[in-house]
Structure 1
């Protein structure tokens, strides 16, 4: 039986011609030569080689070692290149040229597809923010007074944004020691004896200790990648979202909850977040996700004009995320439930005159839905460590050494198709001695 061509995909493949995400790869024969690739089914097209072979006017952009030159070229070029790639992969006339340039995905090493400029993390899920508020402020309002007036965010650390698959070393830092367990057994890094929260940690001492984090957590998020830059002192309105954002991908913003709880007041996240942020190896262009656009939840309060999207096109995305720990699904957060959209986040982060740079990444914050099975981090799933999550290999309150967290997602496409997003995986390894 003749072998199926990599250009002949099975019906319903989530990485078919309706998707075409971009990444960067190397082959075993040339491990130092990074190339731009386009995922197509279980194969990857060497986009630079295809551009050279077809005398494409975009050969220089596609021959780069990162996506940054292509992203900086702007939306008209993004659309032209996408149309060109689609033609290469689906036009029978190109088959003799393109087929030899397809590489099996399993044979390739995948790399961070962009040079990250700045990294911003938001707090855009009402369900996540309300759950955290109920844990930390049980006698007060779940949401802070500003939460429904602006998308809250903070600047993260771009230098530790890592490609999916990079091992995650358990971070060390200062934290307050947990209270002694009621039983005679000692607390372990994977199962602290009592829950602790940033506002009211349950500890046995007001004096911090130094050591590996005992409360390592994941956060299921969606990242948006800036392509075209913007000048200083030139805010980007809601309508400018598609001109500046190249695409989106999954992101895991790893969090050390005990380090975070000790350090975060009054300036917010620092060492508890900056040690590692995992980014998918594949960036899906916004144009591929046009069928997945959806309206955000109804607004409870009127918004200031620069954030008011009541008459704007729908800027939400219907992304169905799944979180697995050691292969066992623990959560299915719906991105369509996010209160603040990426367009509002972009407008807010530039309204003060801040400029955009090619390679800027801004993330949604933890994605959580209204149901317990839709919570996007262990802090919520275990309610601060009170209610362990049960896995086939034992219970968890927070992550143990050896645990592997995998985020996957898909979005509805045209005519019942599914649009696959590249996964994000991270394997927890012990703290460095």
Structure 2
């Protein structure tokens, strides 16, 4: 017996316990933990049980809790598991459980900075072949460092937020001059995001072996992309307006501790990276991602195929002395496997729109107004079953005039 009654096959059991921010009709946003199909209001439960950090759970973001550091994260998780395992706590827990269907979910963190990487060899190769058909698929630096760019923190939104079709300049190869208007090649990018905590000083580097000290957990992430805007603007400085209009993340942050059983070795890295990218613990993660468009699953990207480890991404992000702030978010870049139905973008899935994918009784090369995209992912849990990362959904709305 335990303090909560959970189905044996739940993807949100005691081996998961993802954190988020929720509100009820008459109360302000605060921190909660998902337990099955309910949300546990942490602040009153922690206060009743004498937890010193209880006040941070009354805050409207996870940032104050994340700022307490790894030792507190792990101690709090151990307390939660014990609390929910003991039948004697059923009354206390039951008083502060809210049905998921009756709460509103919010962006779980106040995003400090957002960095997006480009860590899938399969994705980078596909994009190179599409955009540079007469040149090398991979740029000369790709296998020497995790390539990334700085995104826009202010346009990171929680799952369920509509996405307004962006406008911008675009120029097809055969056009004499650029034109302005709504993007006609609006795309998705199925990614995994990493939530950072533990601020560092300017000039300080974070080594690969310190990854778990600075990353609390993961979210699914959809980095919406206007491919026509991106293709015209990205030389020579890289992504800008084609990426900055919206990035959707799941409302639930899955702690790294819940993914211990999902750790897998990286693919072989050849040539051997420079010493600052080497370490004793460079985990990949076996996350099975699913991309659904208007109710039809169009792709299943495997995160285990990623070339660069998130630990290497974090080390590279800080190797020049760039400081970290609690609430930083960095993403993996599009997750793609070797097969066409394992690609994490429509750009690859439809080969730049030339081979549309069937969605119900229609075809899609890129997204149309009214389309709804849902990202899901599962992983092996420490209890032997499957856990599910919080899903990410978004619907495309027409461009504003």
Smaller-chain TM-score range? over 0.9
Q: Which residue of 2 aligns with 1:15?
A: 12
Between 48-57 and 251-260, the greater mean CA deviation after superposition: 48-57
4+ long deviations beyond 4 Å: none
Please state how far the C-alpha of 1:313 moved relative to its aligned partner.
Answer: 2.1
1:293 and 2:263 correspond: yes
Q: Which residue of 2 aligns with 1:272?
A: 242
Please state how far the C-alpha of 1:81 moved relative to its aligned partner.
Answer: 0.9
Structure 2, unaligned stretches of length 5 or more? none
SS of match in other structure, 1:241:
helix
Residue 217 of structure 2, aligned match among 244, 247, 269:
247
Q: How many residues align?
A: 401
Residue 213 of structure 1, aligned match among 183, 191, 199:
183
Counterparts of 1:108 and 1:57 in 2: how far apart (Å)? 26
Residue 351 of structure 2, aligned match among 356, 361, 383:
383
1:25 and 2:38 correspond: no
Listed as ranges, the matches of 1:400-411 within 5 Å are 400-411=368-379
Counterparts of 2:391 and 2:44 in 1: how far apart (Å)? 25
Counterparts of 1:150 and 1:314 in 2: how far apart (Å)? 15
Query: Residue deviations 1:311-356, cap 9 Å, x none?
Result: x124111100000001110000000000001000000010000000
1:107 and 2:75 correspond: no
Q: Which residue of 2 aligns with 1:123?
A: 118
Query: Residue deviations 1:142-173, cap 9 Å, x none?
Result: 11110000000000000000000000000011
Counterparts of 1:263 and 1:292 in 2: how far apart (Å)? 38
Please state how far the C-alpha of 1:139 moved relative to its aligned partner.
Answer: 2.4
SS of match in other structure, 2:275:
coil
SS of match in other structure, 1:225:
strand
1:348 and 2:316 correspond: yes
1:91 and 2:86 correspond: yes
Please state how far the C-alpha of 1:6 moved relative to its aligned partner.
Answer: 8.6
Q: Retained in 2: the 8 A contact 1:294–1:314?
A: no
Scaled by the length of structure 1, the TM-score of the pair is 0.91
Structure 1, unaligned stretches of length 5 or more? 177-200
**Cα RMSD for the two superposed structures:** 1.3
Counterparts of 1:53 and 1:206 in 2: how far apart (Å)? 69
Q: Which residue of 1 aligns with 2:168?
A: 173
Counterparts of 1:297 and 1:40 in 2: how far apart (Å)? 34
Counterparts of 1:300 and 1:243 in 2: how far apart (Å)? 28
Does the C-alpha gap of structure 1 residues 265 and 55 become closer, same or farther in structure 2, counting only changes over 3 Å?
Answer: same
Please state how far the C-alpha of 1:370 moved relative to its aligned partner.
Answer: 0.6
Q: Retained in 2: the 8 A contact 1:164–1:280?
A: yes
Does the C-alpha gap of structure 1 residues 414 and 246 become closer, same or farther in structure 2, counting only changes over 3 Å?
Answer: closer
Between 134-143 and 350-359, the greater mean CA deviation after superposition: 134-143
Rg comparison, structure with higher value: 1
Listed as ranges, the matches of 1:327-366 within 5 Å are 327-366=295-334
Counterparts of 2:67 and 2:81 in 1: how far apart (Å)? 21
Q: Which residue of 1 aligns with 2:71?
A: 76
Counterparts of 1:299 and 1:260 in 2: how far apart (Å)? 29
1:395 and 2:356 correspond: no
